Structure 1
Amino acid sequence: MRITIATPSLEEPTGNGRTALRWRDQLADLGHHVEVRRSDDEVSPKTELLVAIHALKSAVPAMRFKENTPDRPLFVLLSGTDLYRDVRAEVVAREVLDRADRLITLHPLAARSLSPALRFKARWIPQSCARPSTLPERPRDRFRVIVVSNLRDVKDPLRTLEALAHLHSSSTIEVHHYGVPIDHDLAERAALATNEEQRYRYFGARDHDAILQAIGGSHLLSLTSLMEGGANVVSEAIVVGTPVVSSRIEGSLGLLGEDYPATFPIGDDRALAELLGRCEENRSFWEQLREWVSRRSATFEPEAERRAWRELLEEWSP
């Protein structure tokens, strides 16, 4: 099958770009001819299946594809902003969901946020990660917390930095932050904090392999987003065996489990600080979290993602 993936971004450090390139390889492994294009590019008339990443940002190619070739399938990946903001606020996003033949979600609870008329279209495809053959050792004299978050308001990316002010003075916690400096004001704050707060360092963007090594060499991943469709960094942390603390959002609970014991209320840096301190000071609690993510790691292996794609394509009868 000739498949085109339309994505708002092809840059590797962005979630959309990484997803598009990973899916290209997965679908090619299944024997399909796959082309990746930006959402503002023309879709080839030879395309037999269009996979649109992000309902709102890929609305133009998605709607044009269904207008020109109504009998050919359209699959739409729902981002966090699609699910939890744009579908409610943007008419065009709702129109894309109505026209789509399948709605791809990145966590298994996402269908709850869709209207009953759309839920039958939803299919979860786990975001996979190949475990590196080697990982660095975690530091012995410090408790390293990693933040992998682009600097955008919806990510609430400096919440972990703000939590440092509430830690006990004897804490050895240090925060290493990686992410694209999208928002200028947030980037300035991160740079200033790197100079003034000895426990925080912002590294900017890094390639995927470097990020995986950094996650594997950390004691904890902190995810503080206001909303997520299912953050790839959570599955990456699970695969490399690094426990996660997360804001209590559906996108994380879907990946970690609804009863995962290390979540905190959105935007609550005091609650986050308390959770970070507990992970640092209570070895048995940290081990509990590590064992928890270890039990879920098989869900995010590359073969699991390929299998989900194979099953989705097999069920579709154009």
Structure 2
Amino acid sequence: LDAAAQILARHPDYYVVILGEGPEEPSLREQASRLGIEHSVRFLGFQPQHVVREWMRRAQVFVLPSVEEGQGVVLLEALASGTPVVGSDVDGIAEVITPAVGRLFPVGDSAALAERVLEVIEDEALRQQLAAAARRRAETAYDWDRLALEYITLYGQVS
């Protein structure tokens, strides 16, 4: 949320949507209040998949600030929705997010996160380019039929 405060200082008409539930929510709400951005941060809690997909589709950018994250399904869903992704530079995320589809930032570096998000939201041509590339990457590199075939082939080689 420190990065969100920096972004909202330049774009006060924007807002942050946080989907999902977890033990961090009370401290995040407190942090938003302390930063003076509580009216620009929407905590929507658990939502059905169709609602999550709609929010991803409408978003200017999807941020995945994980400290430790593998290649989560949420990341692939964001790519498939055609949403540019800004993610922390950790294993799994860094393997998926290439400069062609999104941006990476060092873990815990809120200034770098804000910089990457601003780069995407302030350059419409770049945002559109990243969105199209994200969708293509999801359709080609992470096609479920292709992945299933690769796993079947791998299991055949191992056994």
Bucket of the pairwise TM-score, normalised by the shorter protein: 0.7 to 0.9
Q: Structure 1 stretches of 5 or more lacking a match?
A: 1-160
Report what 1:240 is aligned to: 81
Structure 1 residues 78-129: Cα deviation after superposition (integer angstroms, max 9, x where no partner):
xxxxxxxxxxxxxxxxxxxxxxxxxxxxxxxxxxxxxxxxxxxxxxxxxxxx
Q: Which is helix-richer, 1 or 2? A: 2
Task: Tell which has more relative contact order, 1 or 2 (C-alpha 8 A, sep 6+).
Answer: 2
| Pair member with larger Rg | 1
| Deviation for aligned residue 1:178 | 1.0
Report the CA distance shift for 1:315/1:206 in structure 2 as closer, same or farther (over 3 A): same
Q: Structure 2 stretches of 5 or more lacking a match?
A: none
* TM-score under structure 1 length normalisation: 0.44
Q: Which amino acid aligns with 1:228?
A: E
| Residues 226 and 247, structure 1, Cα contact 8 Å, conserved in 2 | yes
User: RMSD value over aligned CA atoms?
Assistant: 2.4
State the distance in 2 between where 1:175 and 1:236 align.
18
Structure 1 residues 178-232: Cα deviation after superposition (integer angstroms, max 9, x where no partner):
1221x2xx22123443896121111112233322222112121101011212121
State the distance in 2 between where 1:215 and 1:259 align.
19
Q: Which is strand-richer, 1 or 2? A: 1
State the distance in 1 between where 2:132 and 2:63 align.
17
Question: Percent same amino acid at aligned positions?
Answer: 25
- Is 1:282 matched with 2:123? yes
| Deviation for aligned residue 1:255 | 1.3
State the distance in 2 between where 1:240 and 1:170 align.
26
Report the CA distance shift for 1:176/1:168 in structure 2 as closer, same or farther (over 3 A): closer
How many residue pairs get aligned? The number is: 154
Q: Which amino acid aligns with 2:91?
A: E
State the distance in 1 between where 2:123 and 2:27 align.
31
Kindly report which structure 2 residues correspond to 1:111-130, keeping only aligned pairs within 5 A, or say none: none
- Is 1:165 matched with 2:5? yes
State the distance in 2 between where 1:282 and 1:262 align.
13
Moved segments of 4+, more than 4 Å: 258-261
